[in-house]
């Protein structure tokens, strides 16, 4: 019986909890990307609403750690978008908006998929703990 308990605990700790940590880390990464794209979408919307002329524009941006710089934008009607692998493409605002909307939709689908995987792993952990409880003949009403 002790061997079975050790096998269950080893499986929970080394497989299920490790998988759960990986899924949670990936979910955090996807949430950060989703937040960036949502922020970019709101910036594009503001630029489109203001109908800026194709002349110069000044902007302030935060590079991180409250380090701000002033930027001089030559043409505010286009922007460079990172497609991935540090590949940037210059797009007009309308096209950039469509691209960002598509990426946002894909990231939301990834979030839903990862949440499903997270719930499945948590359910498997719960089932394994119930199996341990039954093997060890622990009362289900026992509160620690």
Distance, in Å, from the CA atom of 128 to the CA atom of 136, rounded to the nearest integer, reads 12
In the structure, what pLDDT confidence band is assigned to residue 141 with cuts at 50, 70 and 90? low
pLDDT at 52: 63
Query: pLDDT value at position 80?
Result: 85
User: Can you give the pLDDT at residue 57?
Assistant: 72
Q: Using one digit for the tens of pLDDT, what is the confidence trace for 48-59?
A: 887 666 666 777
Average pLDDT over residues 107-132: 92
SS3 90: strand
SS3 labels along 31-50: HHHHHHHHHHHHHHHHHHHH
Distance separating alpha carbons of residues 127 and 29, to the nearest angstrom: 28
Model confidence pTM above 0.85: no
């Amino acid at each position: 019986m002790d061997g079975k308990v050790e096998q269950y605990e080893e499986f929970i700790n080394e497989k299920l909890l490790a998988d759960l940590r990986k899924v949670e880390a990936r979910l955090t990464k996807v949430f950060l990307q989703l937040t960036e794209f949502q922020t970019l979408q709101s910036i594009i919307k503001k630029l489109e609403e203001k109908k800026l002329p194709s002349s110069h524009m000044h902007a302030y941006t935060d590079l991180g750690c409250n380090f701000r710089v002033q930027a001089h934008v030559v043409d505010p009607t286009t922007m460079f978008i990172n497609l991935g692998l540090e590949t940037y493409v210059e797009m007009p605002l309308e096209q950039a908006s469509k691209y960002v909307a598509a990426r946002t939709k894909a990231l939301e689908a990834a979030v839903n998929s990862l949440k499903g995987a997270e719930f499945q792993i948590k359910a498997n952990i719960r089932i394994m703990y119930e199996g341990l409880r039954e093997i060890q003949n622990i009362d289900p009403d026992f509160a620690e």
